[in-house]
Amino acid sequence: MNDNQVHPFTAEDLKEDVIEMLKTIYDPEIPVNIYELGLIYQIDVSDSGNVVIQMTLTAPGCPVAQTFPGDVENKIRSIDGVNKVHVELVWDPPWTRDQMSEAAQLQLGMF
């Protein structure tokens, strides 16, 4: 056995896969993915493949507030190497348009 053997999934690689998956999930009211929209506040990935995501929504009264975090969990759970997933919905700090990436702002014609 080679001591320099690379494990199939590192936490860093898995985090990149999580981000790529988040970029395929779109806000139901704004045609931009939730990562570029700035709805993802924090992503923690452990070496054992456990993923914890802190996210928000564009407004507390968002009609998908009850179901959207579960939808995100299911998508992330489908990634090879992911063991457990927990998505925490937070409201502090509140989301503002300033949290959108430049790409999202361009997509929405905000420049």
Question: Model-level pTM greater than 0.95?
Answer: no
Summarize pLDDT for 40-85 with one digit per residue, the tens: 999 999 999 999 999 999 988 888 888 999 999 999 999 999 999 9
Q: Which of 37, 22, 28, 34 is nearest to 76 (CA)?
A: 22
Q: Is the pLDDT of residue 6 over 70?
A: no
Q: Tell me, what's the pLDDT at 83?
A: 96
Task: Provide the pLDDT for residue 3.
Answer: 42
User: CATH class for domain 11-94?
Assistant: alpha beta
